[in-house]
C-alpha cells in the first residue's frame, strides 16, 4: 500500500485570533440570550433560511447593522448599496420554494476585481471609477443562479497586484494589515460583516488574508472555477477561491462550483490519529519570520500530540529555482495584462505595473517559456519510490 501524505502548510496559528475576535464587546450575547444573525456561519445561516427560521431580509439587515457599526474603522467595502441589498433580499423571500436554489438567500461578498452587473467593479484604480460591467463574471452568474444574494464589493489592492493597498485594517488589531490582495474579503469575514466572500489568488492573495485574519480560506487547484469576467493578472497563476468561518462554509461553494476530486476510497481520510502529514518548507523558509516558524513548529507538535505522523520533505535542489521561475511568469504575464491601463493612463497606475509593461528586468520570450516549462514539469523532478 502506498504511503499517504497530507501536506501541511501553516502560515499562522489560527486559534488565537479567532478566540480574540469573539472577545469583542459586540460579541457578548444579548440579555435575551438571542444570537444575533450576523454571528452565524454561512452554513448555519443557510440552514435557518431553508427551515424558515430566519428570513433573507432579517439576515441581510443584521449584517448591514454590523457593517454600520464596524466599517468606519475596518473599511472592508469598496461598494455597498444598502437599498439594493434589502430590495433583493425581499425578492428572494418572495420566491416560491419550488424555485429556490441551493444557496437561496445566502449573502456573498465579491472581491472588487470580479465583474458584477449591478454594482461597480473598480479594481481600486482611478482609471475605473464608476465602472459598471454589463454582465456578471461566470462565478457570480453561478452563485446568483444558485440563489445567493450578491451583497457588495470588497476592497482589493490595485488590480489585485498586492502593491498599492486599500485602507482596509485588520479587525483584530487596527494598526495591522489584513493582508492582500483580497483585503476586504478577509477582513469582512473576520469581523462578522459577512459570512462568505470571494477572493482571487495569484501569489498568496487568498491564503495570506485568511492567515492574517484568522479565518478559513480555500484556494483550489489551478483553474477548476471559471475566471471569465475578472481582471486578469497572470493567467498561469490566477485562481478564484473563497472565505468562510468553518470548513462547512467552504464546502457549500465547492459543491456549487462543481469541484470534484478523484475518488480513492481505500485511502479516505479517517481522522488525525495515524494520518501522515508532510511539512514542506522550501528554499525560502529561512527568510520566514520567527512567528511563522514558531507557528509551523507548534502545528506539527499539535498534530503529533493527536497521534499523527509528521514528516519533513526534502525537495531536490532544482526546486530552489521555483521562486525565480514564478517571478518571471508573474512579470511577463503582468506585462500583457497591464498594457491597456499603461496605454490609457500610465500616470494613474502603480510603479510595479509600469515596470512590468516596460520590462525593467529585460526578460526575453525565451526566458518566459523556460520558466513556464520548468514550472509545468516540476513534478518530474520529484523522485518516486
275-316 pLDDT per residue, tens = 999 999 999 999 999 999 999 999 999 999 999 999 999 888
Please tell me whether residues 247 and 323 are part of one structural domain. Answer: no
- Last residue within a domain, chosen from 231, 256, 281: 256
Please tell me whether residues 351 and 217 are part of one structural domain. Answer: no
Residue 280 lies in a domain: no
Q: Which domain holds residue 367?
A: 318-381
Please tell me whether residues 207 and 341 are part of one structural domain. Answer: no
- Last residue within a domain, chosen from 202, 228, 256: 256
pLDDT for residue 265:
66
- The domain that holds 109 is classified in CATH as 3.90.1300.10
Annotated catalytic residue 211: no
Q: Name the domain count of the chain.
A: 2
pLDDT for residue 314:
86
Q: Which is the catalytic residue, given 43, 62, 75, 111?
A: 111
Please tell me whether residues 334 and 250 are part of one structural domain. Answer: no
Segments of the chain scoring below 70 in pLDDT? 1-33, 264-267, 378-385
pLDDT for residue 33:
67
pLDDT for residue 25:
35
Please tell me whether residues 238 and 370 are part of one structural domain. Answer: no
Residue 307 lies in a domain: no
Please tell me whether residues 341 and 251 are part of one structural domain. Answer: no
pLDDT for residue 23:
32
Residue 129 lies in a domain: yes
Residue 367 lies in a domain: yes
Residue 210 lies in a domain: yes
Please tell me whether residues 149 and 45 are part of one structural domain. Answer: yes
Annotated catalytic residue 111: yes
Residue 229 lies in a domain: yes
Q: Which is the catalytic residue, given 43, 62, 125, 181?
A: 181
Residue 74 lies in a domain: yes
Among 381, 382, 375, 364, CA closest to 325:
375
Please tell me whether residues 120 and 210 are part of one structural domain. Answer: yes
Please tell me whether residues 223 and 372 are part of one structural domain. Answer: no
Distance CA 194, CA 42 (A): 9
Residue 306 lies in a domain: no
Annotated catalytic residue 205: yes
Neighbouring CB atoms inside 10 A of 146's CB total 19
Count of residues in the chain: 385
CA distances from 38 to 69, 115, 199 (A): 12, 26, 20
- Last residue within a domain, chosen from 232, 256, 280: 256
pLDDT for residue 22:
36
Q: Which is the catalytic residue, given 205, 211, 337, 338?
A: 205
Distance CA 150, CA 142 (A): 11
The residue with cell 509551523 is: 296
Amino acid at each position: 500500500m502506498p504511503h499517504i501524505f497530507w501536506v501541511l502548510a501553516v502560515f499562522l496559528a489560527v486559534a488565537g485570533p479567532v478566540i480574540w475576535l469573539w472577545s469583542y464587546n459586540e460579541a457578548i450575547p444579548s440579555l435575551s440570550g438571542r444570537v444575533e444573525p450576523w454571528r452565524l456561519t454561512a452554513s448555519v445561516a443557510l440552514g435557518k433560511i431553508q427551515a424558515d427560521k430566519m428570513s433573507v431580509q432579517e439576515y441581510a439587515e443584521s449584517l448591514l447593522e454590523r457593517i454600520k457599526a464596524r466599517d468606519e474603522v475596518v473599511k472592508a467595502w469598496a461598494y455597498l448599496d444598502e437599498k439594493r441589498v434589502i430590495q433583493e433580499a425581499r425578492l428572494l423571500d418572495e420566491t416560491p420554494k419550488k424555485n429556490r436554489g441551493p444557496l437561496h438567500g445566502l449573502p456573498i461578498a465579491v472581491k472588487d476585481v470580479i465583474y458584477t452587473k449591478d454594482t461597480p467593479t473598480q479594481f481600486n484604480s482611478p482609471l475605473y471609477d464608476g465602472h459598471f460591467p454589463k454582465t456578471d463574471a461566470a462565478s457570480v452568474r453561478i452563485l446568483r443562479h444558485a440563489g445567493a444574494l450578491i451583497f457588495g464589493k470588497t476592497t482589493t489592492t490595485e488590480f489585485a497586484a498586492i502593491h498599492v493597498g486599500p485602507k482596509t485594517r485588520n479587525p483584530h488589531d487596527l494598526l495591522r494589515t489584513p493582508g492582500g490582495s483580497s483585503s476586504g474579503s478577509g477582513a469582512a469575514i473576520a469581523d462578522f460583516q459577512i459570512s462568505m466572500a470571494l477572493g482571487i489568488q495569484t501569489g498568496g492573495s487568498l491564503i495570506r488574508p485568511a492567515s492574517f485574519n484568522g479565518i478559513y480560506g480555500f484556494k483550489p487547484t489551478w483553474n477548476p472555477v471559471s475566471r471569465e469576467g475578472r481582471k486578469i493578472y497572470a493567467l498561469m497563476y490566477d485562481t478564484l477561491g473563497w472565505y468562510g468561518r468553518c470548513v462547512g462554509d467552504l464546502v457549500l461553494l465547492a459543491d456549487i462550483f462543481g469541484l470534484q476530486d478523484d475518488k480513492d476510497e481505500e485511502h479516505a481520510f479517517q481522522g488525525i490519529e495515524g494520518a501522515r502529514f508532510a511539512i514542506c518548507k522550501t528554499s525560502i523558509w529561512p527568510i520566514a519570520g520567527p512567528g511563522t516558524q514558531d507557528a509551523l513548529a507548534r502545528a506539527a507538535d499539535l498534530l503529533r500530540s493527536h497521534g499523527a505522523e509528521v514528516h519533513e520533505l526534502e525537495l531536490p535542489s532544482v526546486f530552489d529555482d521555483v521562486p525565480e521561475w514564478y517571478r518571471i511568469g508573474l512579470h511577463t504575464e503582468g506585462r500583457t495584462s497591464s498594457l491597456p491601463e499603461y496605454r490609457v493612463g500610465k500616470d494613474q497606475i502603480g510603479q510595479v505595473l509600469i515596470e512590468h509593461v516596460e520590462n525593467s528586468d529585460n526578460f526575453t520570450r525565451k526566458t518566459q517559456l523556460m520558466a513556464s516549462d520548468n514550472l509545468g514539469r516540476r513534478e518530474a523532478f520529484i523522485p518516486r519510490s
